[in-house]
Amino acid sequence: FSLFKPETDICIPWLDAKEEGSVVYASMGSLASLGEEQMEEMALALEKCDKYFLWVIRASEEDKLPPNFKERTSKKGIIVNWCPQLEVLAHRAVGCFVTHCGWNSTLEAVSLGVPMV
């Protein structure tokens, strides 16, 4: 039994349906918290980007998203509260990692050769 399995059931099959290198994976880690303005800028960047996106946002942070963001971007991106990061970074569809550059995230991305922003 895994409390995180439902999110895995969402993000990995979603990635499986995408072309190689076509997805921006964004995660600020389990401790970092973006301000409302930062969250809005990140959302705008992902919305305007010509790539798909998988964005991990803690449930407690979702209220900082711009109004109707999920609806506007539902064809190009998904937002989850958790995902198996190592499995996501190793996925062929992930072409870029927007990260807070925490130690573990950085080591995982470097070891898998995923470009970081």
2 pLDDT more than 60:
no
pLDDT of amino acid 32: 75
Over residues 43-60, mean pLDDT? 95
Cα(106)–Cα(81) distance, rounded to whole angstroms? 20
For 70-95, what is the mean pLDDT? 96
Domains in the chain: boundaries? 5-112
Query: How much is the mean pLDDT over the chain?
Result: 92
Tell me the per-residue pLDDT of 29-49, one tens digit each, with 9 for 90 and over: 877 788 899 999 999 999 999
CATH topology of domain 5-112: Rossmann fold (3.40.50)
Paired tokens of 51: 């790539």
Cα 42–chain centre separation: 11
pLDDT surpassing 50 at residue 1: no
Three-state DSSP state, 74: coil
| CA distances for 66 relative to 13, 27, 61, angstroms | 26, 17, 11
